[in-house]
Chains A and B, each alone.
Chain A
Amino acid sequence: MYSKDGEQYHVVDSHIALWDARPENQRNIHGKQFIDCFYDYHRNLSPESEVWPYEEYLYQGGERLMRDVFVDGIVDHAIFQPARLAEFYHRGFGQTEEAFALAQAHPDKLTYNHHWDPRDGENGLDRLRADAERMQLKGVKLYTADWHGESRGWKLTDPMAYRYFELCRELGITNIHVHKGPTIRPLDRDAFDVADVDHAATDFTDLNFVVEHCGLPRLEDFCWIATQEPNVYAGLAVAIPFIHTRPRYFAQIMGELTYWLGEDRILFSSDYALWTPKWLVERFVDFQIPEDMTEYAPLTTALKKKVLGLNAARLYDLPVPAELQLPDADETATGPREPAAADLASV
């Protein structure tokens, strides 16, 4: 819970990780390139006081994670969104057993989401069934740019991926977090294309598709899809730290998301350990659209409460004190609505 100026915010961090990128776990040069890329993101976008030494950045462990994420009691609940990266790291990047054990030890504070990969075929379906039972999964994190043998990427519309979505539906895994990294194959097309989310969201209207990084670097394509698909959500991982270095850009991201999606489908994420949630929550509560950006309405306190926690709490059935709950907003000018009801396709 975060309190400021008499307002109380129930905070859910919808994207954290417990990773191990230490040299002994790096399988090849790409393992180092990957964590170095993360570290450049971290030190490029963090306030100076929040920058960690490189060695600390490689691995945090459960004890430190609990301190970092839940410091000062600001964050009420956090959700693991692990990336496998088995081609880059011997024991994978996200530490499944360590994170799952931590979530079991703190069920009121942590939810563990797992991952699947359609390129694991039939065996992967059996595995997902077993994982869902053991981990009581309510969500999964999908990283479409993950490498797998000869393959360097996949799409949500791959036929095998649909088999996995069908199984998710059967198992009650309703929250599908999609991270659109630079998918390599096929190279002919834009590696960050989010069009496959559109198709999957249309075909599985009973699943929620949370697009991490709100589709960045394709914010415009993402907003357009989310306008037409009421079950598509924006995760603010990587977008929210712009609040520090590029506040006017962040204002435009929030302005666009609010315009196209409305206030009920945007989720706060620190992307820990890329960044820590405390400073992001504090900055976000204090943040406002600059006055000269007249094209956007100011961010209301209700919007901030929803983004910081209430929206994610609803997706994950997390308990929220009755006095902190808020009703849904009206539809935006552009949506959400049924695709058939909107003549948007020609625009």
Chain B
Amino acid sequence: MTAVLPALTGTEAEVRAALGTVVDPELDEPITDVGFVRSVAVDGSAVEVHLRLPTSFCAPNFAWLMVSDAHDAVSAVPGVESVVVELDDHSDSDLINRGLAAGAGYRGTFGSEAEESLDELRATFQRKAHTAAMERAVTALLRSDPTVDVAALTLGDLPAGEHTTDALLRRRATLGLPLDDGAPVLVHDDGTRPDPAQAELVLRRARSVRISVDGNAHFCRGLLATRYPGSEADQAPRPGDRPLLPLTVSKGTHP
């Protein structure tokens, strides 16, 4: 089984890298960073991956997105011919694992509970991820210079090479928003600039989005560590592009 260890290790590394491209849409973080990958087993050209989530009742639509994205990502790794991705310990584990194994797709798996697709859901959370990144970039600037005219900011005013700037640019690219130096920073979801009189309210609203996303990320990480003792070792620290919420994260208690 593990006779050709170096080659297998190479494939496993590629599989893990592929899984690193799969993002929890709600937390806006790779599933490999939050500890959702429970195991990766490579046997020749066959790969079996197990995923885990913080609770049995995590929303099944997000669960499906992550599991099916993981299946797609691993299937695209060169040399991999058979892929099994399973979600463990979830209220919909049987349904999701059966549907994925049969290639039934979203609607085929969930039947009448699914209407068309999860595209709009994914888009909603890409917009939230952008809004949160926008708030982080603007607030970082405000912390260093409280007199900044938020309404007038353009991308060229943001410090180049900073994590918060790069993170914002990546999320703008996802939404198809302009990336040139003259493009406004504070924008509605459709890229239009708010009326200057409303700029403060738009920023306040963006802040509530960022707090929600960050808070959920911390809570989910903590719950996963409580549910699966030791899983905190599989969690990478929060990325450097979101430094503005210095929280004390408890690892929970294990009676």
Interface set of A (CB-CB < 8 Å, partner B)? 30, 33-34, 36-37, 40-41, 43-46, 48, 51, 53-54, 145, 152, 181-182, 184-192, 216-220, 223-224, 242, 244-249, 252-253, 256, 259-260, 295, 334, 344, 346-347
Contacts and interface: CB of A to CB of B under 8 A. Distances in A.
B56 interface: yes
Nearest to B254: A43
Specify which of A192, A252, A256 lies most central, judged by the most chain B CB atoms within 10 Å of its CB.
A252
Contacts of A219: 208, 211-212, 215
Interface in B102-160: 106, 110, 113-118, 120-121, 124-125, 128
A334 B246 CA distance: 27
Interface string B200-211: 011011011101
B87 to A, nearest CB: 13
Interface in B164-207: 194, 198, 201-202, 204-205, 207
10 contacts: A34-B57, A40-B55, A46-B253, A182-B58, A188-B114, A224-B208, A248-B246, A249-B211, A253-B215, A347-B194
Closest 8 pairs (CB-CB, A-B)? A33-B56, A245-B250, A220-B208, A191-B59, A44-B252, A44-B226, A219-B212, A182-B59
Interface of B: 26, 54-62, 64, 91, 106, 110, 113-118, 120-121, 124-125, 128, 194, 198, 201-202, 204-205, 207-209, 211-212, 214-216, 218-219, 222-223, 225-227, 245-250, 252-255
B170 to A, nearest CB: 21
Given A33-B91, A188-B115, A220-B211, A259 B204 contact: yes
Contacts of A191: 59-62
A220 B128 CA distance: 10
Specify which of A36, A37, A46, A53 lies most central, judged by the most chain B CB atoms within 10 Å of its CB.
A37
Nearest to A245: B250
Contact of A224 (B57, B118, B205, B246): B205
B114 to A, nearest CB: 5
A30 B55 CA distance: 12
A274 to B, nearest CB: 13
Nearest to A334: B201
Nearest to B116: A188
A30 B59 CA distance: 14
Contact of B253 (A48, A190, A346): A48
B27 to A, nearest CB: 10
B124 A249 contact: no
B218 A246 contact: yes
B116 A43 contact: no
Contacts of A184: 60, 113
B132 to A, nearest CB: 9
A43 B55 contact: no
Contacts of A185: 113
A248 B214 CA distance: 12
Given A188-B120, A248-B248, 10 more contacts: A45-B222, A46-B253, A54-B255, A187-B64, A188-B115, A246-B247, A249-B211, A249-B245, A256-B208, A346-B198
Contacts of A224: 205, 208
Contact of B222 (A30, A44, A344): A44
Contacts of B120: 188-189
B212 A37 contact: no
Contact of B247 (A45, A48, A248, A346): A248
Contact of B113 (A51, A187, A253, A334): A187
Nearest to B210: A220
Contacts of B252: 43-45, 245
B56 A37 contact: yes
B247 A40 contact: no
Specify which of B116, B202, B212, B218 lies most central, judged by the most chain A CB atoms within 10 Å of its CB.
B212
A39 to B, nearest CB: 9
Contacts of B205: 220, 224, 347
Given A219-B208, A249-B218, A253-B211, A188 B61 contact: yes
A153 B196 CA distance: 41
B250 A44 contact: yes
Contacts of B204: 259, 334
Contacts of B212: 216-220
A190 B225 CA distance: 25
A186 B112 CA distance: 8
Contact of B223 (A41, A48, A181, A253): A41
B226 A40 contact: yes
Contacts of B117: 188
Contact of A189 (B121, B246, B255): B121
A44 B211 contact: no
B222 to A, nearest CB: 5
B121 A252 contact: no
B215 A44 contact: no
A95 B62 CA distance: 32
Nearest to B142: A295
A260 B91 contact: no
Contacts of A248: 245-248
Nearest to A192: B59
A246 B208 contact: no
A46 B113 CA distance: 36
Nearest to B194: A347
Specify which of B56, B227, B253 lies most central, judged by the most chain A CB atoms within 10 Å of its CB.
B253
B58 to A, nearest CB: 7
